[in-house]
Amino acid sequence: MENRKLIQVNQELLPSHQRIGRDFFIKHTSVYELFKSQANAYPQKCFIIFPEYNVRFSYEELDSKITEQALYLRQKRIVKGDRIGLVLPTSPDFIVLYFAAFREGITVVPINPDLSPPEIDYIVADAQVKAVFYNEPLSKKISDVRKNTGLSKVAFINTSDISITDPKEKAELPAVHYTDEALIIYTSGTTGKPKGAVLSHLNLLADSQVISEWFQFTPDTRALCILPLFHNNGQVITLLAPLSAGGSTVMVPPKTSLRLFWSITKEYNVNWTSVMPSILAIILSLKLKRKDSSMAGIICGGQVLNAEVRTQFENTFQVPIFEGYGLTETTSFACFNKFPKNKRKFGSVGRALPSNDVGIFDENDKEVAPGKEGEICIRGLNVMTKYFGLDEVNKKVLRGGWFHSGDYGYIDADGYICFKTRKDYLIKKGGENIYPSEIENVLFGHRAVDECAVIGVPNELLGQDIVAFVKLNSKCTEDILLEYLTNKLAHYKYPKRIIIIDELADLDDIPKGPTKKVLYKVLSEYYDRRLKTSI
């Protein structure tokens, strides 16, 4: 890669919750400048592969497509400061529009194509996008979205209709600064409507740079992108972090790639991927045989990684898992276990990244001593600018110069962060705080259990009681599983009931989101709706 003068981030330009008490340097002022720099350094090198579409681009080829698409955006009078919605699957269309928008200083609003028309409608309106791009299979859904008269000024563009009137016209690069808005990613909305987390070019550059350096990515690194591109994990960990090192990425459809996981890894010589913990459990349950010799490690986060899942996966496939922690609001990860594998500290999600600080605060917003539990709070260059259009919410979650995550955990004496649970998922039974992962970890150790999830349910005397949902891989009963827990947990942590999903007529799997994150809220709603009166 060409030698470049490092750019010291002027932290006086940043809000207080993005500042850290030390200098930080980036290599580029915008995401597209990062891409262009790598395209200049490695023009003929393969950058991205889409096996599903039988398409691959070198850096130079993709840059040509990006420049054409940037010209198209200008011809449609979509310019710097505007926003576009991408209702697209993981695809060449998504990638080209993504970088073309960044090139022009246009904000990208990625939207899950599986959302319903009213949900898409809400995000399009809330984010105030100027145009929505979609592909032909989504035409019917977009037609329903367009029935909303409030969106009459929004341009809806089928990617198959994109054409450039004068492809030889030159599209000069506009000035894009690292503080400029790059993305608005809508959170899953565990309570109320989803919120749009505004991420700047600096957020993306800082997080991808430190992750690339943390795991020692090189130009030879090839990542496998399983998680969808409307999610920031897919974008940052398996696209922008390899890009930061001049590496490459293989993009596969999240819904169909798991059965072919090791075949794809072997065929494309993949070194790294990033997954949710439940994906590891799914791959284990498929009884797949490892076929490659290239996979160096798997990045994992999003929910608690059960020790039993990690142990089984590593023993079966001989691939180390590096657990970390982060949120949409921290651009992706904010801490990681150390690389290489002998530096990991099991039971923790690692140490804070160089781009940010992590603190634990009590209910009075006072930082607590090492080892004491409280709310995990983060500040740094990878923390979002704000929630879009939510001034009062921003005052609350960004108070005191920290982002308040709503997650529980502690930092040990060595500076390692231990994530326990979301506040929403904490079970409070008879005055005791119980973490679902404690019970899930033990249940997963039973050979008949493929997957499990634990929730708190209302109890008049105790406040809450415990219910576990399990999916089996062989014949087993509730009584056998309850007996299995004996002496493996404190008595107050025993579930009131273990519900075997295989025996339910209207629930055939533990509900998960598009990134395979377990949807505890959906399980709780199912329990209230279908099982509350029968237990």
Q: Which residues are CB-contacts of 104 (< 8 A; sequence separation ≥ 6)?
A: 70, 73, 74, 78, 79, 80, 171, 174
CB 467 within 8 A of CB 495: yes
pLDDT recorded at residue 224: 98
pLDDT recorded at residue 116: 87
pLDDT recorded at residue 167: 65
Is the pTM above the cut of 0.85? yes
Measuring CA to CA, which residue among 534, 523, 521, 532 is closest to residue 460? 532
CA-to-CA dists, residue 166 to 67, 68, 72, 78, 169, angstroms: 12, 10, 9, 16, 6
pLDDT recorded at residue 327: 93
Q: Which residues are CB-contacts of 248 (< 8 A; sequence separation ≥ 6)?
A: 45, 46, 47, 48, 49, 221, 222, 223, 242
Q: How does 494-523 read in b/e, with b if 16+ C-beta sit within 10 Å?
A: bbebbbbbeeeeebeebbbbbbbbbbbbbb
325 alpha-carbon distance from chain centroid? 10
Q: Which domains does the chain have, with CATH numbers?
A: 57-176 (3.40.50.980), 426-534 (3.30.300.30)
CA atoms of 317 and 326, how far apart (whole Å): 26
- Note down pLDDT in tens along the chain; length 535 residues: 456 789 999 999 999 999 999 999 999 999 999 999 999 999 999 999 999 999 999 999 999 999 999 999 999 999 999 999 999 999 999 999 999 999 999 999 999 998 889 889 999 999 999 999 999 999 999 999 999 888 999 999 999 999 887 766 676 789 999 999 999 999 865 446 889 999 999 999 999 999 999 999 999 999 999 999 998 999 999 999 999 999 999 999 877 789 999 999 999 999 999 998 889 988 999 999 999 999 999 999 988 888 989 999 999 999 999 999 999 999 999 999 999 999 999 999 999 999 999 999 999 999 999 999 999 999 999 999 999 999 999 999 999 999 999 999 999 999 999 998 877 788 888 878 888 888 998 999 999 999 999 999 988 778 899 999 999 999 999 999 999 998 888 888 999 999 999 999 999 899 998 888 899 989 999 998 888 765 4
CA atoms of 100 and 108, how far apart (whole Å): 10
pLDDT recorded at residue 461: 79
One DSSP character per residue, 453-481 reads EEEEEEETTTEEEEEEEEEESS---HHHH
pLDDT recorded at residue 358: 98
